[in-house]
Amino acid sequence: MKKYFLDPVSPNFSTFLDYMTQLNNKVEQYVKPDMARVPSSITEKYAGLLEKENLSEDGEDLDSVFSRLAYYSQGLIRWNHPGALINVNPPATIPATVVSSYFSLYTPNGAQDMSTGYLLTTELAVVKMLSQLAGIDYKQSGGYFTFGGKSTNIHAIKHGLQRISPDYGTNGLSGDIVTFSSTQGHPCHAEACNWLGIGDKNCIRISTNKMGEINLEELETRMAESIEQGKKIACITVNGGTTIQMTIDPIKKVADIRDRLVEKYHLNYVPRIHVDSVIGWVCLFFKDYDFDKNPFKFSDSALQKLKRQMLRISEIKYADSFGVDFHKTGFAPY
């Protein structure tokens, strides 16, 4: 067994690399370089596969475990292949993958600097850099790593609930709570309500115009209606680049509506505005691009689209929070 662990006195790192190579050699047997997807000869259903999977009393040697893992890589999409164009799934870079695999040797715990040391600085640094990118004073902002895009939306709504009732974590939810999104918003905007006990039916979906942007008049009317019915608004989730269409809603105008209603109805809390920018945040990188000189020589049509998206996403600073996914447009692995 000892050979499976790094020796604490004379760490033999080459074992790590040898095992990587061993696994890679086995997976590569299934890969066809000209195909985006690893071809699959598996015809059984999961139930059939499970019948063959049993806890072994005697253990199993690593070579056999790797062979069986490689067998299951059939059907895997290779995102680095130019033919892989499904959804927003950029390939992970090799350095990003190395960093995550390498530090896994030490199982750092993102919740504890006691065991993780100064590696947690990376979280603070990333939050600072993203604040700078968004034009927000990093000394006033905060943020943290979560477990994915859905989780960024869950966190935003949770914070919205805390605004309505600061002791909701202790006492639980009370009263009628709603959230807002548009019909083009991701399904997880409602799933987040499900997870938080608000209920997916209380995520009110506002219609969109033909460009997929949220209908502002309808949003204002439906928000006012909810307030008049005594409901509390935990969050307005604004699109900051939708999954297929890359639609970015008018963030500032939504913030203006929220502010108007807070004043009109003398609300004792401010409904949270969260931008689901897990894909579109990346457009912020173009805020300093010289669109006149166009040094990257983008085509006219690409240049116009990039500029429009950049101008729209630059309004992110008017929201209370926004989400960023590195496994989408950050070339990092999940």
Ligand X SMILES: Cc1ncc(COP(=O)(O)O)c(C=O)c1O
* CB 167 to ligand X: min, Å: 29
Q: Which is nearer to ligand X, 31 or 192 (CB)?
A: 192
Q: How far apart are CA 178 and CA 234, in angstroms?
A: 6
Q: Which is nearer to ligand X, 189 or 232 (CB)?
A: 189
Contacts of 313-316 spanning 24+ positions with Cβ under 8 A = 313/240, 313/241, 313/248, 313/277, 313/280, 313/281, 313/283, 313/284, 314/135, 314/284, 314/287, 315/250, 315/251, 315/252, 316/134, 316/135, 316/240, 316/251, 316/275, 316/277, 316/281, 316/284
Residue 305 backbone phi and psi in degrees, to 5: -65, -45
Residue 179 DSSP SS3: strand
Mark 292-331 with x for binding to ligand X (rule: CB under 6 A) and - for no binding. Answer: ---------------------------------x------
The residue range among 107-115, 136-144, 192-200, 274-282 that interacts with ligand X, by the rule CB under 6 A, is 274-282
Site for ligand X in 135-154 (CB under 6 A): 148-150
Q: Based on the shown chain and the rule CB under 6 A, indicate whether residue 184 belongs to the binding site for ligand X.
A: no
Q: Based on the shown chain and the rule CB under 6 A, indicate whether residue 213 belongs to the binding site for ligand X.
A: no
237 DSSP 8-state letter? E
Q: Which is nearer to ligand X, 165 or 243 (CB)?
A: 243
Position among 163, 186, 222, 274 found at the interface with ligand X (CB under 6 A): 186
> What are 128's strand-pairing partners?
none
* CB 112 to ligand X: min, Å: 24
Which residue has the closest beta carbon to ligand X?
149
* CB 246 to ligand X: min, Å: 9
Q: Which is nearer to ligand X, 148 or 212 (CB)?
A: 148
Q: Based on the shown chain and the rule CB under 6 A, indicate whether residue 249 belongs to the binding site for ligand X.
A: no
Per-residue b/e over 59-91, b at no fewer than 16 CB within 10 Å? eeeeeeebeeebbebeeeebbeeeebeeebebe
Q: How far apart are CA 315 and CA 252, in angstroms?
A: 6
Q: Based on the shown chain and the rule CB under 6 A, indicate whether residue 242 belongs to the binding site for ligand X.
A: yes
* CB 90 to ligand X: min, Å: 12
- Compute how many other C-beta atoms are within 10 angstroms of the C-beta atom of residue 272: 24
Position among 92, 154, 178, 188 found at the interface with ligand X (CB under 6 A): 188
Residues lying near ligand X in the complex (CB under 6 A) are found at 148-150, 186, 188, 242-243, 276, 278-279, 325
